[in-house]
Amino acid sequence: MEYGKAYVFQPSDIRPAKRRRVDTQGLQASWRRRREAYTKAWQAQQRAIDERLSSINAATVSEVSAFLDEAISSPQSERIPTGVILAGYGVNSHSSIVSQLARRKSADEDGRQIYVTLTSAYGANLKALLKSLIQRALRRQTGLDDDEEDPPTATARRGPRLLNYDLQLLHDYVREHKLQQIVVAFEDTEAFDSDLLSELIEMLGCWHGRIPFAFLFNIATSIDFLQQRLARAAIKCLDGRLFDLAPAGEAVEAVFDALMSSGAPLWLGPSVMSILLERQGDYIQSIDGFVDAVRYAYMSAYYANASTQCLESSENLPDDHCEALRNLESFRAYAQQMLENKELLRLKDCLESNQSLAAVTSLRITEGQRKLNDMMSALSTLRKIQEVLPNMSVSPRSSLYVQAMSGKLHGSTLLRMLLLTIRKMPSHVTVRLLEAILAADSLDTYAQGVCRQLLGELNEILGSRNDPTQPLRSEDDVQNSTLRTTVVAQKVELSKHKAALSDQDKAYTQVLGRLSEVLESYFEETLVNPKDLPFHEVFVYDLKSPHREVFMPRPRHAIERALASPHDYLDCECCEPDRGERDEATLSATQPATAVLYQLYLESGSLINASDLWQAFQAVIGDERDESQTMAHFQRALAELKYLGFVKQTRKRVDHIAKVMWRGL
């Protein structure tokens, strides 16, 4: 067998004893239905997100496309028209810009313009880059060309086959199809080698008179950095215009806008959301990663939680699903509440009959979803009020969402400040505020009615006042009171004195008081804590753990920890540390050789003498074994450490190895 180069595999007819479990049982049985529900829910969400995201940069896209059209209609200089797009850190956002442009063009034109995207991965030299540029340009059969044409690489030109990096190919193609512009988009400008990029630009600049090029550079740093890297001759070929994309924060806000207003059946809880936001701000700035993470949250909610089936329909729930529902934390609290309210019959019904449980569940879930929707509209009302008030910054949707979902917004300083400011508003701001609230139409009917009434009263008061240029002031406004200090028996007393207020001012103050009361009660009613809603586990997904493990693994830490304390992973009796000691790693001969060597490695300095290491290793492993066997273990362990990148050979001293990695970084 060892010397044979190949052998014929002859399977025996006996089927293997272990079979795959194809049919799912228990809570997993509903997985298919939940997957359908997920697809439906996410598609709606994705559509909403896409819509918002494409509208963010719509202005820039149309600017860029106008710039390109202008370059077609008035080709003025020998320089190549160049759009420099400040795209920011994440590259993905740009690719969508170019594809948005291309889609827009192909929709409303007859394909006289083609888009070629180049990234640095396409080639490390000029030849390869030109080759892929030409291939990509020719492969796109734009417009209404029929399929029966020759393959696009063979143009009508007969004669010698040109080399595949010869721009003459592209030239012939352009002439044949009467193209007006070839837009070359450099996706990751910074990643190109500077010399290569300059050379490519110069090369295309040579052909600019014959092939109408236009460039789009996507840069993540600054334009000066790009300029530093290009050769002077290359810069002379470019005639640039700068375009700016929306920063990544705005894109996150847009995604939140979509999440909050799409009326999706599922909500993401505060802890998972804050993890996502934190990661977004700390590390990544591409919005696609964020959307993916949200999508993953949707998936894990639907796939792993059997009770999410109730989101779709709670009819025909299997028994085990009902049992799962009864075990929910929030259902128990709900049952307790029913018990306290002496609704024993209903409670009994819920506990015994699956049907009535399903009915109650769907009712409560719908109610909970409605409450959360109300909360979201309360958040947008809050933002609207902040917009109207002067000297008040509008809080971002994301932070409001996280605060509201964790139930901390009600009674927060933010809300108190807001209501206090409302009590001090001058009348012209109040009118604007009331009009904005009424126009938004997001309050409940009662509050809406009160607001309308207040606006009427306010207009009456405003009509009756003496000096129409001066706005009415509130009694609570600091401008209307003065502080007085009086010294009584060697103590300073502070006393507030209200300035004399007119009758209109007093009436206005009352209006303001009622307004703030209405708003306060409105916010109190709508800003519920989602944790208090019955069955909130079903429609609010709030688990940290899969996200952490999936999106933020720690490979280096895992390897280091496994090597430092192998017992935790092997769970064998032989290496168990003594009870008396703390769980610090101890060396023992029974541990894997690599782990022993790693712990010795941790104790040494940056240069390790191989012979010393061997002696220490031998002392740990013990004398009872054969030396040659120990040596084999040692060599293998050392090779593994080298493979993992912990040590390397050094030229400083021949018999030493250099320590490359330190622990805990």
Partner 1 sequence: MGLQHLPEELLTLLEQWPCREQQLRQLSAVLSPKLPSPHAVVVHGPHATGKTGIVRSHLANSKLKHAFIDCRECVTGRHLLERTVAVVHNAVTGDANSLNDRCENVSALVVNLQRLLDGRGKFALVLDGVDKQREPSPTLLPALARLGEVIPDLTVVLIVQYPPPRFLHQTGIPHTYFSPYTRNQSIHILSQNAPDIFIEPPPADLEYDEDVHQEDKAWLWPRFCAAVWDSLAQNAARDLLAFREVCHKLWRPFVAPIIRGDFGTRDFSRLLVAQRRLFQDESVLLDSVVPAVALPSNVRREGHELPYYAKWLLVAAYLASFNPGKLDALYFMKTTERKRRKKGGGTARSGGGRPSQNRKMPRHLMAASAFTLDRLMSILHAILPHDLRTTIDMYTQIATLTSLKLLVRGGGIGSSDPSEPGGKWRVGPAVSWDYTQALARSLDFTLIDYLAE
Residues 384-413 that bind partner 1 (CB under 8 A): none
Kindly state the smallest distance separating residue 233's Cβ from partner 1, in Å. Answer: 9
Site string for partner 1, 547-566 (x = CB under 8 A): -----xxxxxx---------
Kindly state the smallest distance separating residue 78's Cβ from partner 1, in Å. Answer: 11
Nearest 5°: phi and psi at 391? 60, 30
From 176-184, 217-225, 377-385, 404-412, give the range in contact with partner 1 by CB under 8 A: 217-225
Residues whose CB falls within 8 Å of the CB of residue 50, separated by 6 or more in sequence, listed in order: none
SS3 at position 9: coil
Cα–Cα distance, 301 to 546 (Å, whole number): 11
Structure tokens at 659: 């320590």
Kindly state the smallest distance separating residue 124's Cβ from partner 1, in Å. Answer: 11
Residue type, 446: Y
Pairing mode of beta strands 80-86, 213-219:
parallel
Of these, 39, 99, 222, 459, which contacts partner 1 (CB under 8 A)? 222
Does 63 help bind partner 1 (rule: CB under 8 A)?
no
CB 244 within 8 A of CB 250: no
Of these, 72, 103, 190, 288, which contacts partner 1 (CB under 8 A)? 190
Of these, 31, 75, 103, 166, which contacts partner 1 (CB under 8 A)? 166
> Please, which residue, 431 or 661, has the CB nearer to partner 1?
661
Structure tokens at 71: 């370059």
Does 647 help bind partner 1 (rule: CB under 8 A)?
yes
Nearest residue to 96 (alpha-carbon basis) of 259, 316, 254: 254
Does 419 help bind partner 1 (rule: CB under 8 A)?
no
Cα–Cα distance, 192 to 124 (Å, whole number): 8
> Please, which residue, 277 or 301, has the CB nearer to partner 1?
277
- Measure CA of the first residue to CA of the last residue in the chain; give whole Å: 47
> Please, which residue, 440 or 661, has the CB nearer to partner 1?
661
> Please, which residue, 241 or 384, has the CB nearer to partner 1?
241
Does 569 help bind partner 1 (rule: CB under 8 A)?
no
CB 30 within 8 A of CB 297: no
Place of tokens 């040596």: 631
Kindly state the smallest distance separating residue 67's Cβ from partner 1, in Å. Answer: 11
Cα–Cα distance, 566 to 77 (Å, whole number): 69
Of these, 10, 228, 486, 628, which contacts partner 1 (CB under 8 A)? 228
Cα–Cα distance, 128 to 169 (Å, whole number): 15
From 27-35, 153-161, 400-408, 566-574, give the range in contact with partner 1 by CB under 8 A: 153-161
Residues whose CB falls within 8 Å of the CB of residue 575, separated by 6 or more in sequence, listed in order: 566, 567, 588, 590, 591
Does 652 help bind partner 1 (rule: CB under 8 A)?
no
CB 388 within 8 A of CB 431: no
Kindly state the smallest distance separating residue 191's Cβ from partner 1, in Å. Answer: 4
Integer angstrom CA distances of residue 557 from 163, 221, 554, 596, 663: 51, 32, 5, 17, 8
Does 235 help bind partner 1 (rule: CB under 8 A)?
yes
Does 59 help bind partner 1 (rule: CB under 8 A)?
no
Of these, 49, 182, 184, 238, which contacts partner 1 (CB under 8 A)? 238
Neighbours of 655 (CB within 10 A): 10
Kindly state the smallest distance separating residue 259's Cβ from partner 1, in Å. Answer: 22
Pairing mode of beta strands 238-244, 80-86:
parallel
From 238-246, 360-368, 409-417, 532-540, give the range in contact with partner 1 by CB under 8 A: 238-246
CA atoms within 13 A of residue 101's CA, in its CB half-sphere: 28
Range 103-142, binding partner 1 (CB under 8 A): 120, 126-127, 130
Does 660 help bind partner 1 (rule: CB under 8 A)?
yes
> Please, which residue, 552 or 572, has the CB nearer to partner 1?
552
Length of the chain equals: 665
Does 242 help bind partner 1 (rule: CB under 8 A)?
yes
> Please, which residue, 625 or 648, has the CB nearer to partner 1?
648
Does 646 help bind partner 1 (rule: CB under 8 A)?
yes
Kindly state the smallest distance separating residue 556's Cβ from partner 1, in Å. Answer: 7
Of these, 202, 288, 320, 457, which contacts partner 1 (CB under 8 A)? 202
Place of tokens 């792993």: 304
Of these, 68, 226, 311, 376, which contacts partner 1 (CB under 8 A)? 226
Cα–Cα distance, 20 to 23 (Å, whole number): 9
Does 544 help bind partner 1 (rule: CB under 8 A)?
no
Range 478-497, binding partner 1 (CB under 8 A): none
Residues binding partner 1: number (CB under 8 A): 73
Residue type, 249: G
Of these, 225, 332, 435, 499, which contacts partner 1 (CB under 8 A)? 225
Does 88 help bind partner 1 (rule: CB under 8 A)?
yes
DSSP 8-state assignment for residue 5? S
> Please, which residue, 429 or 660, has the CB nearer to partner 1?
660
Cα–Cα distance, 285 to 280 (Å, whole number): 6
> Please, which residue, 167 or 388, has the CB nearer to partner 1?
167
Cα–Cα distance, 39 to 264 (Å, whole number): 12
DSSP 8-state assignment for residue 155? -
Kindly state the smallest distance separating residue 665's Cβ from partner 1, in Å. Answer: 4
Place of tokens 């209903």: 346
> Please, which residue, 14 or 665, has the CB nearer to partner 1?
665
CA atoms within 13 A of residue 172's CA, in its CB half-sphere: 17
